[in-house]
């Protein structure tokens, strides 16, 4: 009987699947796109500084800019991996929200490095708190999945509500 139905069912299941997948990742895709735009902005800044350097002072500025760009690029794959894992395992809205805050922190870090003002943070790791929050979301998502598989109890909705509330705590300075 299943065989007989399969042509219609297959199309129906496939269509449903894609809508459901898109429903659960489109915010993550948006944040990823934003981060790509930011990467391109950083790269263009470095490129512009590189072609325009003449005096010694500009050379130092280029050095600083290049270093800030490198630090940002070094943590970029880590950020993307944690963002997507958290979004897929648990809930996309808090993950995307944390991702946007991370991008803001990164922008401030880059500009601060540039301007040599008091904002300037020399650390290799910025946004540790956000990465920690996203990692925690992954762990909670996996634990919930294991509990659902072996114990039969599903706390996903409660956890998602708590996560949404907790994500606003990231706004604290």
Q: What sections of the chain are H helices per DSSP?
A: 2-51, 56-89, 92-115, 128-150, 156-167
How far is residue 98's CA from residue 75's CA, in Å, rounded to a whole number?
15
* Dihedral sign computed on CA atoms, order 144, 147, 148, 153: negative
153 binds its own copies (CB under 8 A): no
User: Tokens 């299941």 label which residue?
Assistant: 13
DSSP three-state, residue 168:
helix
Instruction: Say which DSSP state 170 is in.
Output: G
Q: Does 104 bind its own copies (CB under 8 A)?
A: no
Closest CA to 23 of 79, 93, 83, 76: 93
List the x/- string, 110-149, binding to its own copies by CB under 8 A.
Answer: ------------xxxx--x--x---x--xx-xx--xx-xx
Tell me if 50 contacts its own copies by CB under 8 A: yes
Question: 17 or 168, CB closer to its own copies?
Answer: 17
Shortest distance (Å) from residue 168 CB to its own copies: 23
Q: Which is nearer to its own copies, 19 or 118 (CB)?
A: 19
82 belongs to the binding site for its own copies (CB under 8 A): yes
Kindly state the DSSP code that residue 151 receives in the 8-state scheme: T
Which residue in 52, 59, 60, 81 binds its own copies (CB under 8 A)?
A: 81
User: Rounded distance, CA 59 to CA 67, Å?
Assistant: 12
Q: Contact positions toward its own copies, by CB under 8 A? A: 2, 6, 8-10, 12-14, 16-17, 19-23, 25-26, 29-30, 32-33, 35-37, 39-40, 43-44, 46-47, 50-51, 69-70, 73-78, 80-82, 85, 88-89, 122-125, 128, 131, 135, 138-139, 141-142, 145-146, 148-149
């Amino acid at each position: 009987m299943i065989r007989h139905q399969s042509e219609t069912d297959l199309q129906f299941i496939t269509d449903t699947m894609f809508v459901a997948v898109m429903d659960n990742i489109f915010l993550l895709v948006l944040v990823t796109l934003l981060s790509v735009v930011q990467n391109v902005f950083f790269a263009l800044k470095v490129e512009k500084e590189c072609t325009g350097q003449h005096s010694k002072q500009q050379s130092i500025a280029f050095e600083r800019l290049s270093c800030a760009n490198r630090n940002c690029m070094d943590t970029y794959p880590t950020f993307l991996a944690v963002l997507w894992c958290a979004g897929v395992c648990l809930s996309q809205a808090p993950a995307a929200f944390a991702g946007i805050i991370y991008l803001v922190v990164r922008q401030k870090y880059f500009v601060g490095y540039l301007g040599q003002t008091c904002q300037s943070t020399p650390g290799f790791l910025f946004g540790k708190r956000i990465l920690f929050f996203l990692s925690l979301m992954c762990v909670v998502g996996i634990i919930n999945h294991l509990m659902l598989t072996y114990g039969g109890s599903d706390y996903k909705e409660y956890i998602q509500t708590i996560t949404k509330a907790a994500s606003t705590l990231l706004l604290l300075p």
